[in-house]
Amino acid sequence: MVATNPVLFDNCKTVSISNLKRWDYLKPDQSKSGVISWNQGGQKTGSISIQVNTHSPQPYIEFDYQANGTPIKYRVYLVSKPSNIGEGSYFLFVCPITGKHCRKLYLVDGYFYSRLAFRGCMYEKQTHSHKTRQMLKTFEALTISDKLNAKHFREYYSGKPTKKYLHLVRKFQISKIAFIQSLQD
């Protein structure tokens, strides 16, 4: 019998470029070691040792942990790309399986790879039926309305609508259309 429950990316442990940067692992010309831990509901659910080397000619992150009692140690290389604003650069992971550049690695089947390396995995939203998705969009309209009416929400700045305001108005209109369609079904 084949399992019908897919692995959900939402529930996977992840390592992201933004977190590594926030924790000062991605400073130029350094080698830094540490431990990454995951918690859920105040309980520690896992931890791994990492070493990030940006001094090497080929920068990398080295993972060292145990999965199901088996010691695992491997490297995922990093690539530096120039920033689109013309100043500085930023790092991306190079997935060992696909060779694609990504900002986040997911732990599935004992290894951290890009989401494109795994078959049969999905995001929770993808498991919802079409009707459920429409219903969720309808309820989203209510929360958007609350955000637009929040005490310190700013609709305009220097006479122009803010990006956040325009984004919420677009989402509200889409949610309203989804609600009308759900009433017609």
Q: Are 51 and 61 in contact (CB under 8 A)?
A: yes
- Token readout for 76 is 């995922």
Place of tokens 């080929």: 58
Instruction: In whole angstroms, give the CA distance from residue 77 to residue 95.
Output: 8
User: Which residues fall within 8 angstroms of residue 103, CB to CB, at 6 or more apart?
Assistant: 16, 17, 18, 92, 93
pLDDT score recorded for residue 4: 67
CA dihedral 116, 122, 124, 129 (to 10 degrees): 130
Delimit the domains of the chain by residue range: 7-121, 128-184
Contact in structure between 127 and 54 (CB atoms under 8 Å): no
Q: pTM for this structure?
A: 0.71
The sign of the dihedral angle between the CA atoms of 108, 109, 113, 115 is negative
Q: Give percent of the chain above pLDDT 90.
A: 42
Q: Please, what sign has the CA dihedral across residues 40, 42, 43, 45?
A: positive
Q: Quick: pLDDT tens for 56-81.
A: 899 999 999 988 889 999 999 999 99
Measured distance between the N- and C-terminal CA atoms of the chain, rounded to whole angstroms? 36
Write down the pLDDT at residue 15. 95
Cα dihedral sign, 18-24-26-27: positive
Strand spans (E) along 41-155: 43-53, 60-67, 70-82, 89-94, 101-102, 104-108, 111-113, 121-122
Distance CA 153, CA 165 (A): 9
Residues of the chain predicted below pLDDT 70: 1-4, 141, 178-179, 182, 185
Residue 68 to residue 96: CA distance in whole angstroms:
21
How far apart, in whole angstroms, are the C-alpha atoms of residue 31 and residue 28?
9
Strand-pairing partners, residue 97, are none
- Tell me, what's the pLDDT at 92? 96
